[in-house]
Chains A and B, each alone.
Chain A
């Protein structure tokens, strides 16, 4: 079995909903108005409601309640809006495919915690588009879900063996399957035509030093994943905190004393983000 073969031909996974490509097109076009983008979002009422709640959430400190999609678009900003719409549709897309050994809500909780951790670190680093890092964190373990749905027997055997022998999942996936969930996560992002920086950061989140071009982004996601595991929000099936890559930590230039503050920021955002994305699940 080859990691490249696993997702081939699966059109439902390979493509994102139409609304996303139309939105992306509109945002990339130089002369698009907020009204136009608002109208696009409004064509999907559930998505529109979600974006309104998002604009009114603690993430965007607005003085007055946001009561129209038009205002929501201007509050959130079009680029961030695109990324948040993507987060919303992907979580919805993979809703309800509960596996025997992995509960989807727990899985998303870990993914959201990692996304928030990545965004908090990116904010600390003064990165311009922090939602991009939120997505990398959110999607880093998607491969695990795909492995469980595409080759359930094989991946379940990995989970059982890791549990019985008290070892880490990712090296065991490599040993037993010849590839790991991070390879599959990267494949998925590639199929969705997401930027290469995101593909690479997700691909190398267990081995950031091996990332050919995007060492910094891979290191950031690696550290965010480490923090999310430590905080024990949700689970991706991994029982233990994966080892911190010391070089990745050094690369971020975060003073050890800042960890406390970073954790406080993650805690502040975690519950409201979970309510926003997982409400009704």
Chain B
């Protein structure tokens, strides 16, 4: 386990603890092997430092180019659709997190294929 700055994190590293945003919403679960788009999420959410687990797999995962704009747009859309739900309630926060990632990825894929 070691703490490192987010700009030093590279894909293939494993999150050593749950990573949450300021309101406590889970962004990345402990044990997740980080890929580029997840690292971008950390930057988007303003996380400055995370704990990395000892076994660095250094195996970059296949990923599409998810931009910050995609993430922000997806976040806005999902939060609007969940406006009648308590965003901070753990299962709701987790579901929204998964849906934001899913939608941002879909946007990125559509972008990639549309060109």
Contacts and interface: CB of A to CB of B under 8 A. Distances in A.
Contacts, number: 44
A257 B95 contact: no
B91 A241 contact: no
B6 interface: no
B82 interface: yes
A227 B81 contact: no
A168 interface: yes
Given A240-B83, A241-B82, A249-B91, 20 more contacts: A227-B95, A229-B81, A230-B81, A230-B99, A232-B81, A240-B84, A241-B81, A241-B84, A243-B84, A243-B85, A244-B86, A244-B89, A244-B92, A246-B86, A254-B91, A256-B94, A257-B29, A259-B91, A259-B94, A260-B94
Contacts of A239: 81
Interface in A231-281: 231-232, 239-244, 246, 249, 254, 256-257, 259-260, 263
A150 to B, nearest CB: 27
Contacts of B96: 230
Contacts of A227: 95
24 contacts: A168-B84, A227-B95, A229-B81, A230-B82, A230-B95, A232-B81, A240-B83, A240-B84, A241-B81, A241-B84, A243-B84, A243-B85, A243-B86, A244-B86, A244-B91, A246-B89, A256-B94, A257-B94, A259-B91, A259-B94, A259-B95, A260-B94, A260-B98, A263-B98
On chain B, which size bracket covers the interface? 10 to 19
A240 B94 CA distance: 18
Contacts of B46: none
B-side binding surface: helix, strand, loop or mixed?
A: helix
A26 to B, nearest CB: 42
B25 to A, nearest CB: 12
A152 B95 CA distance: 35
B98 A244 contact: no
Interface of A: 168, 227, 229-232, 239-244, 246, 249, 254, 256-257, 259-260, 263
Contacts of A256: 90-91, 94
Contacts of A259: 91, 94-95, 98
Question: Of B81, B90, B91, B92, which is in contact with the most chain A CB atoms at under 10 Å from its CB?
Answer: B91
A243 B92 CA distance: 9
Contacts of B95: 227, 230, 259
A242 B81 contact: no
A281 B38 CA distance: 39
Interface string B82-115: 1111100111101110110000000000000000
Nearest to A166: B83
B85 A244 contact: yes
Contacts of A231: 99
A242 B84 contact: yes
Nearest to A232: B81
